[in-house]
Structure 1
Amino acid sequence: MRKYKYEEVKQAFKERGYELLEKEYVSTRVKMSFRCPIHPNDEQSTTFDNFIRGKTGCNCCSGKKHSIDEVKLEFEKRGYQLLETRYINSLTKLRYRCLKHPDKINMMEFYALLNGNGCPHCYNEKKSKWYSGGKNPNWNGGITTLSMALRESTKNWKYNTLIKYDFRCAVTRERTNDLQIHHSESFAALRDEVLKELNFDKRRNKNDYTDDELQLIYNQLEQKHDEIVGIPLRKHVHQLFHKIYGKKNNTLEQFIEFKTRWDKGEFNEQLELELF
């Protein structure tokens, strides 16, 4: 059985948006206290065994509907004004106003807010800075590679994929906070297709391209993503897939084969060894 380090356990809670309250880690079977940022007054506990298997999380989030005041507070934390007076559920669109763009009324699900989505006008301004270099600190000196910047442009595609799958892992069917979007055709292959079609050679950094070239790359890459299948997977499932099939030249056929093998229980023993 694997012995986890305290920092690994703490990071696992952090990745799901929780604050681990313990100062030491004993074992996967010992309960540990944690706090959810949405319900900071409710100290909760779980074993790391149940936590990494996705069996437990915030009891308040999973079993109790958010109040309109809780939802309003989360919007305010991000600089938004919630315009609704009634809250139905996390998948119902809510009207809100960004304080940086007070003349615009936007709509977004509460689940999307909690998962990092925000004002589309702020996003477009940020995107514009990516194209031009702007004042984005990652731009200076060519620190950000082209691939890192391009991955940022897939945010909307990823969110639309989550909606399509009802925010569930396509393999385990669990609805958790650690979902990642798997490309049925590898991101690197899509990137290279775009560069080839535009007749651009590969250059490592964004500032090796002109502003016009960058905008062409972004636009065409977004179109490519609209044509392929995105697949939400739990983090450990996604890691297992790439461990088996590698990270280059992935195909939809590979995923279908992986899903079939998973359903047959072929990876059960391997998962037990890796999770423990």
Structure 2
Amino acid sequence: MLAAVVAVALLPVAGCSGTTPAAAPPSPSVSQAPSVAPPSPSPTPSTPPPGPPPVGWALSDIPSFPPAPPPQPIVLPKNGSVPYLSRIPTDQPVAFLTIDDGFTKSPEAPKLLAAANIPVTLFLTTSAIQDNEPYFAKLQEHGAVIEAHTITHTELRGKSYAFQHREICGSADRLGHRYKRRPVLFRPPFGTKDATTLRAAHDCGIKAAFMWKETVHKGKVRYQEEHKVKRGDIILMHFRPAFVKDFLAALRAIHKAGLTPALLEDYIPGSA
């Protein structure tokens, strides 16, 4: 059984390439909508899919979670821009696991998602996935939802509106064509953005953009604020060689905090 390793850091944490972005801004003051959507499927560990046995993990390594509560979607601002969130403002006992880029295609990822039976959001870079696009369709089959993360994984902050619009819209268009659902959520590479980013994202049909509160790297969880995952926190990990350790470390941190993984899209109106 893999040991759970959780390291604590209260400094800003690294984004996709290891570059350290500025500290996450406070979440915009968005409120919860009164409507209540149907609950997501219960994220209870299942069994690995047929095929080669798990490598580097066992079913007993995956924590068991209670079902996620019926989601309470937030209210989005209507000002020609999109909100930039590192935490969903909710009192529900949930957290959100997001996985970025797509450079490393671990053969264990589909098996882990199937076994854990938890919802995840994938922010994919189109240049990173083009060598094996069917791989991510397999993850879709196990409940992953695919969202946008630019075409080339370039920093957007400070670039022209045309450049940012092309990177955001282009990635959403390509992913939508390949995976039969056009992304409506977005994460800027490295977590860096400016007002132009949020306006271009809005004009590309994006509903919200995302930072994070925790990162996971080489099996260690790093925190921006306190020593545990808090309600509504968005957790960042990547498709990297340590995918198995990172995925299990993220689940253990959520479980230790008494929370349940929930689907980010369930809390953003218009994301279905």
TM-score, length-scaled by structure 2: 0.23
Structure having greater relative contact order (Cα 8 Å, sep ≥ 6): 2
Bigger radius of gyration, 1 or 2? 1
The structure with the greater share of residues assigned to helix is 1
TM-score, length-scaled by structure 1: 0.23
